[in-house]
């Protein structure tokens, strides 16, 4: 039986390939592109009076998109108020949008406890609200709203909900 010596260059090349392949594997929500024109011309008016339905949110290193996220939605009202539904409870908050900067504060929710599949619903709601308070910037492209944290990482992806 013939033995093969492990060449250091082959081992290093293989390790580098695996590392690069792992780094480039992204979910569809990481790959969504936003046109540069819309980012530069964004105005807070693009957010207002539109119902945005959650597609997915970032939880730890993964994207979560399930039946429960489809129930979550927000509407940025004229002025500084945001209303919506967090999955189980209604929510209201204050927001400030200037150019592409966005901050959400003073989040209030009703105190309903969901019984049917309650653990999943309540965890999804808690994760969504935790991301919402960490929003720092946003981009709107056609029917997609992407919210980013202070590090520029996508944390919430919404679709425009048709009336």
Q: How far apart are CA 71 and CA 85, in angstroms?
A: 7
The string of pLDDT tens digits covering residues 9-31 is 443 443 333 333 333 335 555 55
Measured distance CA(142)–CA(14) in Å, rounded = 41
**Domains along the sequence of the chain with CATH:** 31-160 (2.40.128.270)
Backbone phi and psi for residue 28, each to the nearest 5 degrees, phi listed first: -60, -25
Q: How far apart are CA 58 and CA 69, in angstroms?
A: 11
- Number of CB atoms found within 10 A of residue 77's CB: 14
- Distance, in Å, from the CA atom of 128 to the CA atom of 90, rounded to the nearest integer, reads 13
C-alpha to C-alpha distance for 45 and 149, rounded to whole angstroms? 20
| Residue whose structure tokens are 């530069």 | 40
d(CA 68, CA 29): 17
**Each residue's pLDDT tens digit, 88-119:** 899 999 999 988 899 999 999 998 888 766 57
**Mean pLDDT computed over every residue of the chain:** 77
Structure confidence at residue 60 (pLDDT): 84
């Amino acid at each position: 039986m013939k033995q093969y010596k492990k060449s250091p260059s082959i081992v290093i090349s293989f390790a580098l390939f695996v590392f690069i392949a792992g780094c480039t594997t992204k979910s569809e929500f990481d790959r969504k592109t936003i046109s540069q024109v819309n980012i530069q011309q964004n105005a807070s008016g693009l957010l207002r009076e539109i119902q945005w339905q959650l597609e997915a949110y970032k939880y730890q290193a993964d994207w979560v998109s399930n039946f429960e996220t489809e129930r979550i939605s927000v509407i940025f009202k004229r002025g500084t108020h945001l209303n919506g539904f967090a999955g189980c409870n209604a929510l209201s908050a204050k927001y400030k949008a200037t150019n592409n900067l966005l901050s959400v504060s003073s989040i209030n929710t009703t105190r309903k406890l969901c019984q049917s599949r309650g653990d999943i619903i309540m965890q999804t709601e808690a994760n969504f609200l935790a991301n919402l308070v960490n929003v720092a910037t946003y981009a709107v492209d056609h029917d997609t709203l992407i919210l980013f944290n202070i590090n520029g990482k996508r944390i919430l992806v919404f679709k425009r909900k048709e009336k």
